[in-house]
Amino acid sequence: MSTPTTAGRIRLLPEGTVNRIAAGEVIERPAAATRELVENALDAGATRIAVAIAGGGIDRIEVADDGFGMTADELALAVLRHATSKLADDHLVRIDTLGFRGEALPSIGAAARLSITSRTAAASNAVTITIEGGHISAVAPAPGAQGTRVVVRDLFYATPARRKFLKSPRAETDAVEVAIRRLALAAPHVAFRFEADTRIAFDLPAQTRAARAAALLGTEAAGALLEVDVTRGAMRLTGFAIAPTVTRATAAAQTLIVNGRPVADPLLRTAVRVAYRDVITMGRHAIAALYLDLPPEDVDVNVHPAKAEVRFREADSVRGLVISGLQRALSAGAGPAAPLVMQPRQYQSRPPLRLGPAYPTQPQGFAEARLPLADTPSARTLPAAPAERFHGPFTPQSTEFPLGAPIAQVLDTYIIAVAADGSLVLVDQHAAHERLTHEALRTQYLEGGVRSQPLLLPAVVDMPEPDCARLAERADELACLGLELERFGPGAILVRALPAALGAPEPAPLLRDLAEEFADQNESTALGAKLDAAIARMACHGSVRAGRRLSAPEMDALLRQMEATPRAATCSHGRPTFLKLSKAELERMFARR
């Protein structure tokens, strides 16, 4: 008895229509189609994959690999809906392949002109099959090397409504390249070549993860790789974070790989954002290539036909692992500008850098550098050091101190130093000291509370009533940060003590900034985030200012403490604290190479 195709107003859709509907979910744009084909190649054991596209992948997509290949019978089945070689059972519990749905090839064939040529190692010749708009040809013999070559032409010609919503060929090309780069990062053991409109974007051999990351994340990021390697139970996070001095306008440069599968998972992206929150400027995004490995049964990849999202059985544990792993990698001091492999370091609680009184006149040990056109001195240089100085702990010859020795101060704001390898180091003294103060306050808070310094005479600060109310509501929280205050009638706050690490800043500007910070937050902001934002504001007010003249010992102390302080490469607002120009970079700037 045959199954009816209609029941009143309800009818079964034809197979071709079903495939075209599925194509809209599985291959919504050329990048998705290309990704599916490359995933098939990886699942087939390929050691080299070549991808070429034309017209953004709309006109043509070609993916060739040297994998296992398919026999004639296997090829005939491969283009049928829900036919797959990648599921050992029907339980969908332990999925350890990139593909498993059996939807990609029939979906592409329903919306485009598809041809597949494949050959196994044991076969004397290859076999080929074509699909155009869902119409499948017979399998036929063909010439071809071992592996599989898939060619897609006129994508979405059979579904013109979908084609109208595609972006420009340039935009589609960019999306394809991003997808291939992520897959190449996920499988560094496979050689990858990508060509777009005859332009070779990259052609990489099989290589290590570090070499692949350096090749694909960009020249600037490649020089700032920080290794990540943390384990929690059966989960392990490895890969590379990029130093916070190198950021992007979007999160497109973040590659997140779960059990070998690149994903665009919101939980992981949020964890990356939280880990970098205190070290990059608001509105900027980190760069990272992270590999999360966990038992297949602890992650559900069967969430969406595009397979870009996953669900974790223990989402909180995954989030915590990513945050802690990244924060550990980012916690190094401002030593090497971009260490590839960082050894774990033990950071001890230490008092903040104590600078001497301001120098209204020339500090001892400096010489004025008067330029012919300058009305006032704009730079101060250290005199020539005695020979024994070059064997001391704070000299350029000491590789233990990668920020080198200070040799001058420019505009009473920037310290110039020379490192052991001859690199030129420029330090923003306010930004650097702000981070040192921030970390000192944060460490004290985590150890039980920020030490306070009572004021000899309590200060009364007049403020708008809404600001007074915000501060009074958080008086207990601020007391834990060493700031003791209370209401003093309408529109006024009485300050009894300030954090000792800040020295003796003027209370009024500090309170105004704290009130502004709390005004920007909402009720959903976590307490930890509120307190850390307050610490950052305090650190700014307790730091040495731009325009402050420093003595030689103070400059030495600032550089040394930067090297030993976590996250010292950026200030509390995410701005860089120092720039390091190598010999090669200086030669390039002056066109000497």
In CATH, 209-330 is 3.10.20.30: no
Contact (CB, 8 A) for 243 and 326? no
Lookup result for tokens 């509120």:
530
Per-residue confidence (pLDDT) for residue 302, from 0 to 100: 61
> What fold does the segment set 352-593 form as a domain?
Ribosomal Protein S8; Chain: A, domain 1 (3.30.1370)
pLDDT in tens, 353-406: 555 444 333 444 555 444 344 444 445 555 544 433 333 344 444 456 788 888
CA distance 462 to 511: 10
For residue 419, name the pLDDT band (cuts at 50, 70, 90): confident
DSSP 570-586: B-TTS-BSEEEE-HHHH
Q: Which of 31-35, 192-196, 379-383, 470-474 has the lowest mean pLDDT?
A: 379-383
Of residues 343 and 227, more confidence is placed in 227
CA distance 66 to 149: 9
End-to-end CA distance of the chain: 81
Is the dihedral angle over the CA atoms 478, 479, 484, 486 positive or is it negative? Answer: positive
pLDDT in tens, 177-229: 999 999 999 999 999 999 999 999 999 999 999 999 999 987 777 777 889 99
Per-residue confidence (pLDDT) for residue 102, from 0 to 100: 57
Residue 543 has pLDDT above 90, yes or no: no
What are the φ/ψ torsions at residue 569 (nearest 5 degrees)?
-75, -20
pLDDT in tens, 487-506: 888 888 898 888 887 777 78
CA distance 127 to 145: 10
Contacting residues for 251 by C-beta, under 8 A, at least 6 apart = 269, 272, 273, 285, 286
* Length of the chain as a residue count: 593
Contacting residues for 438 by C-beta, under 8 A, at least 6 apart = 535, 536, 539, 571, 572
Domain ranges of the chain: 12-204, 209-330, 352-593
Per-residue confidence (pLDDT) for residue 515, from 0 to 100: 82
Residue closest to 235 by CA, chosen among 185, 290, 298, 188: 298
Write the single-letter amino acid at 317: S
CA distance 426 to 406: 9
The DSSP element (H or E) to which 262 belongs, if any, is strand 261-263
CA distance 554 to 416: 13
Give the CA dihedral 418, 422, 424, 427, nearest 10 degrees.
-40
pLDDT in tens, 441-455: 888 888 877 888 888
CA distance 180 to 200: 13
Contacting residues for 259 by C-beta, under 8 A, at least 6 apart = 96, 292, 293, 294, 296, 299
In CATH, 12-204 is 3.90.1720.10: no
Residue 532: both structure tokens together: 């850390």
Residue 21 has pLDDT above 60, yes or no: no
Write the single-letter amino acid at 187: A
Residue 259: both structure tokens together: 């059990």
CA distance 399 to 480: 39
Per-residue confidence (pLDDT) for residue 281, from 0 to 100: 74
Contacting residues for 386 by C-beta, under 8 A, at least 6 apart = none
DSSP state, residue 248: B
Per-residue confidence (pLDDT) for residue 420, from 0 to 100: 81
Contacting residues for 515 by C-beta, under 8 A, at least 6 apart = 463, 467, 468, 470, 471
For residue 1, name the pLDDT band (cuts at 50, 70, 90): very low
Residue 321 has pLDDT above 90, yes or no: yes
